[in-house]
Structure 1
Amino acid sequence: MIRTIAIDQLQPGMYIVDLHRPWLAHSFWRGRFMVGDTAQIVRLVEEGVTEVSIDTDKGLDLPSVEPLIATDDEIARHFISRLERLKAKPATVSLGEERRRAARLITEAGAVVGDLMLAVRDGRDVDAARLEPMVGKLLESVRRNRDALAPLARLKRSDAYASEHAVATTALIAALGYQQELSEPELEKLALGTLVKDIGEAAIDTRLIGKPGMLSQSEYALVQSHVEEGLAVLQATARLPETAVAVVLEHHERFNGCGYPYRMAGAGISAAGRMAAIVDTYDAMTSDRPYRPAASPSQALRLLYEQGGSHFDPELVAAFVRTVGIYPVGTLVMLESGHLAVVEEIRHDNLLCPVVRVIYHGARRLYVAPVVVDLARSVGNHYGRIVHADTFERWGLSPLRWQPA
């Protein structure tokens, strides 16, 4: 029998068939599952789930006892410690202020990574220790406002793609790491590994890395060698922490075993490697490359979602979508009114209704006086909801000009 119960009545051993929330409003990949332990109940509460439907034929029925939330010491302790962690978190700053800091940081970090890649190309020693201050600064930026650095780093210069891709993916994995509540030491190792994960490409002919056409089998094998080449170069002068090594070696592995260089699969790939695969693919897809134009952030997220369970860890994909938003900051969107708007701020509690800046009338092909609209509010919103994500290129608009300030 199917019955709906309040979340504080849920217990391990019950079989959930409906969370009563859209899939994008929570990070649970499956909609039907057996509750294994109280930790899952804690996650449901944190995700904002207030009621669920259970199948009493497949799991336990509602017992005649006091609600679990009121009596379970483990959950009570969890919420007390979570409150303490939230109080200890530094205050965020405005998006505009952090973007100004982030613009300088992207240049600074990109220059350091670029110097290291040049050292690899010239056959000189690579001093990865130079990246430690950059790792700290990047994490601080993401901690202050996770919607500032990554969207700005997505706009790359064609002659600096490698170094700026390193910075962008580091910002993304830091944001995902904070969403997963990883410890600061673990985040530092993740960020370090992500900054240097592609350093081995510097030892490969640059014409091959940016080749417009299809690669031959031998060329593709050479490109794949950048993984182990990069680790060899780095380990020659310093010993990287295990998490950083996992990022370098596994960011091209795939959940179904079709990746490289070792064809690892599923849980055989470290969590760091699975996270790195997602952010590396997302940033590559949303960047202009010689062999294809950039996809919109929403298009890239849709592809990642479709490949969840095959190429990528499905639960981490869901967490990543919640981290960057369905319509990430800086995305151009079409509204029901026919106006084009740029996403200014994500509502992490309502991913479908961000704050946007209306800039253009699509039907009239005319700029309009920019106005900021909170799509989550019915009062003052004369533009309706988002119809779909669009691209700046299609409308001949400058993505750099209209990025949030």
Structure 2
Amino acid sequence: MRIIPTVLCRPGMHIGKPVFTDEGQILVGYRVELTQSMILKLARMGIDYLYIEDAQTEDIQIEEPIRDETRTLLRQLLSKIYNKFGATTSFSSINEGASIARQLQEAMHRVIEDLSFDKRDMVTLTTLNMAPATSLDRHFCQSAINTCVYATKLGMLQGYTQEALMEIGIGALVHDIGSIQLSEKLLKSSSRLTPSEYAEIQKHTEIGFHMLKDEAGIPMLAATVALQHHERIDGSGYPYNLKGNEIHEFSRWIGLLDSYDAMTHPRAYRNAIAPHHALEILYANAGSLYDINKVALFRNKVAIFPVGLSVTLSTGEKGVVSKQNTSILSRPTVRVLKNERGETLKEPYEIDLSRALHIMINDIGESMAAV
């Protein structure tokens, strides 16, 4: 099985895992053969990538960090929060606020349970969006879920208590909630922001803090994360130019993870940055913008190229990530399916990038011909 951006899929390919609606209903079933109209419809709906099954990769098993049911639950809850806070800066009643807080806690229990079941000593994430989210709602939800999975699993690997995992997880889910109150036109702008527009964008941290700080059942640390996730350890962040340990540890984590997620997903004003290039940017700014120890842990524990991802190598060969190398997660083993001339190989072979150090992953999302 492999992961291919929907826009690069071709008629005749077969679905390797069902496609679900936001409500958890099956939209396209397992092993359904794709048609051009289906591909176009799925792309328009904002289904950014598909699991594709074929003979050359049938032994490659893609393990999700959280269950489809958990992801659906998170998506529904975040959409509810988005719609509610999009109309007001607070819940209209104490009961409503308590209900949302209770649902956040229940959802985080699910996330922690799923991530605890995965005993691997690493973080893997397969929701690489290869096309822009079709709405601010979808963008808000995708970013929140991705950041939550990273933060919670990394917290586990650091030995955080159950209470701390709940706090950092909920903080990750709602860290960007203040952006809901900003102008959609401003958030979708494809041109360079003026100083006044950038100042308006910066307000989302304080807006988010005030949204959350008095809501019953929402941890105060979640409000703190919303306020501080754009602070940077050298004092160059906002809103208060805090430095080093003046920034809460959870906020420093979410700031790093939010930056990585933002870089590896497209925006109206730029294309997505390849995962390894985003990691290089984090390292270039370690010790100034980001805590160097956190960047190192991220590098050592996050599989930036998930199993099943279609890639193009620096040699021009094209293939699929077939396994992780736990000693160097940024250099997985790749099963080569096409040579440098684009010809499909009758006998695929594998290259262990942890040994073949002269070969790099140049790009992700290469479409293969249907098998």
Q: Same fold (TM over 0.5)?
A: yes
Answer yes or no: is 1:151 the counterpart of 2:126.
Answer: yes
- Cα pair distance change 1:178/1:217, threshold 3 Å: same
Q: What residue is the counterpart of 2:341 in the other structure?
A: 364
Q: What residue is the counterpart of 1:291 in the other structure?
A: 269
Amino acid at match of 1:116: I
- Cα pair distance change 1:222/1:281, threshold 3 Å: same
Of 212-221 and 334-343, more deviation after overlay is shown by: 334-343
- Secondary structure of residue in 2 paired with 1:387: coil
- Secondary structure of residue in 2 paired with 1:108: helix
Deviation at 1:241, TM superposition (A): 2.5
Deviation at 1:184, TM superposition (A): 2.2
Q: What residue is the counterpart of 1:346 in the other structure?
A: 324
Any conservation in 2 of the 1:106–1:153 contact (CA below 8 Å)? no
Answer yes or no: is 1:139 the counterpart of 2:112.
Answer: yes
Distance 2:232 2:315 in 1: 41
Of 305-314 and 102-111, more deviation after overlay is shown by: 102-111
**Pairing partner for 2:183 from 187, 205, 211:** 205
**Pairing partner for 1:249 from 217, 227, 238:** 227
Any conservation in 2 of the 1:287–1:293 contact (CA below 8 Å)? yes
Q: What residue is the counterpart of 1:24 in the other structure?
A: none
Deviation at 1:99, TM superposition (A): 2.2
Deviation at 1:295, TM superposition (A): 0.6
Q: What residue is the counterpart of 1:44 in the other structure?
A: none
Any conservation in 2 of the 1:287–1:295 contact (CA below 8 Å)? yes
Deviation at 1:352, TM superposition (A): 5.6
Q: What residue is the counterpart of 1:108 in the other structure?
A: 73
Deviation at 1:312, TM superposition (A): 0.5
Deviation at 1:272, TM superposition (A): 0.8
Distance 2:358 2:191 in 1: 36
Deviation at 1:318, TM superposition (A): 0.5
Distance 2:280 2:321 in 1: 17
- Cα pair distance change 1:190/1:206, threshold 3 Å: same
- Cα pair distance change 1:121/1:312, threshold 3 Å: same
- After TM superposition, the structure 1 = structure 2 runs for residues 58-77 of structure 1, keeping only pairs within 5 Å, are none
**Larger Rg belongs to:** 1
Aligned length: 298
Answer yes or no: is 1:321 the counterpart of 2:299.
Answer: yes
- Secondary structure of residue in 2 paired with 1:391: strand
Deviations 1:11-64 (A, max 9, x none): xxxxxxxxxxxxxxxxxxxxxxxxxxxxxxxxxxxxxxxxxxxxxxxxxxxxxx
**Pairing partner for 1:119 from 61, 70, 84:** 84
Answer yes or no: is 1:178 the counterpart of 2:143.
Answer: no
Answer yes or no: is 1:387 the counterpart of 2:359.
Answer: yes
**Pairing partner for 1:306 from 284, 294, 304:** 284
**Pairing partner for 1:279 from 245, 248, 257:** 257
Any conservation in 2 of the 1:332–1:392 contact (CA below 8 Å)? yes
- Secondary structure of residue in 1 paired with 2:127: helix
Deviations 1:292-319 (A, max 9, x none): 1101111100100111011100111001
Of 135-144 and 252-261, more deviation after overlay is shown by: 135-144
Deviation at 1:376, TM superposition (A): 7.5
Distance 1:163 1:370 in 2: 41
- After TM superposition, the structure 1 = structure 2 runs for residues 213-232 of structure 1, keeping only pairs within 5 Å, are 213-232=191-210
Deviation at 1:274, TM superposition (A): 1.0
Distance 1:169 1:112 in 2: 16
Deviation at 1:350, TM superposition (A): 3.6
- Cα pair distance change 1:117/1:264, threshold 3 Å: same
Is there any run of 5+ residues in structure 2 with no aligned partner, and where? 1-58, 92-96
- Cα pair distance change 1:138/1:355, threshold 3 Å: farther
Deviation at 1:328, TM superposition (A): 5.0
- Cα pair distance change 1:392/1:239, threshold 3 Å: same
Deviation at 1:148, TM superposition (A): 7.4
- Cα pair distance change 1:373/1:255, threshold 3 Å: same
Is there any run of 5+ residues in structure 1 with no aligned partner, and where? 1-93, 379-383
Identity %: 28
Amino acid at match of 2:361: A
- Secondary structure of residue in 1 paired with 2:126: helix
Of 241-250 and 193-202, more deviation after overlay is shown by: 241-250
Deviations 1:89-134 (A, max 9, x none): xxxxx99474296344333312211110110112261533321122
Q: What residue is the counterpart of 2:166 in the other structure?
A: 188
- After TM superposition, the structure 1 = structure 2 runs for residues 57-96 of structure 1, keeping only pairs within 5 Å, are 96=61
Deviations 1:203-231 (A, max 9, x none): 11112112111112222122111111112
Distance 2:185 2:129 in 1: 22
Any conservation in 2 of the 1:297–1:331 contact (CA below 8 Å)? no
Could you say what the CA RMSD is over the residues aligned between the two structures, in angstroms? 3.0
What is the TM-score normalised by the length of structure 2?
A: 0.71
Higher helix fraction (1 or 2): 1
- Cα pair distance change 1:285/1:369, threshold 3 Å: farther
Amino acid at match of 1:308: A
Any conservation in 1 of the 2:317–2:338 contact (CA below 8 Å)? yes
Amino acid at match of 1:144: F
